[in-house]
Structure 1
């Protein structure tokens, strides 16, 4: 129940600004609601991981119940919550998670290391000069 440790975005302009201004880092946006138990589980994992990935990723929560956010809910086809969307240099990242949907991660990660692994393996290679094999 650590969602209070992460920035919560409730306005379209806040999401736009985060996407536009997060440069040279991955932006991780969790779409969901604070009252959902699975979202709370994911929020706990994200908040525990935020410091560990802070050199190459920023994490924020997006409240899908906000009227202003509905444009993003429709655009990213957020039908299941939580859904996590990744951006790099203001561009939406598509990744292969072994599912038919390459636009987002649907559901919660089981543990902190699962999330860190997804960010490091699928996202970090976007900046090859900063990450050594």
Structure 2
């Protein structure tokens, strides 16, 4: 299980790092489709800032392996996926094309993959186990 968990964490770290780099370079326009029209901050700034955050989280996933920091990092990454979810919903509701999501059906189907990213972050870092262990140690203290 440890090998699978480690591989999952490393892969997620690589995916986030790569995605963050593309936010800053070749996919800036595509990512802007995910910034809600109602969001009061410039879409390009949001894409650049979220790219920096993704790179930071990705690199952290590639370098942080000891508990409890690893589990805390998993919670932060899962939280990041939750925070950006409204952008995915807005892309669907506002009928914005991006990344080949050129129909409402494709954009809707994509929404169901976001919870999988949350679960991936939690499982790969043993975030839930870390929280349980921390709570038990506080109760026993």
Same fold (TM over 0.5): no
Report which of the two has the higher share of strand: 1
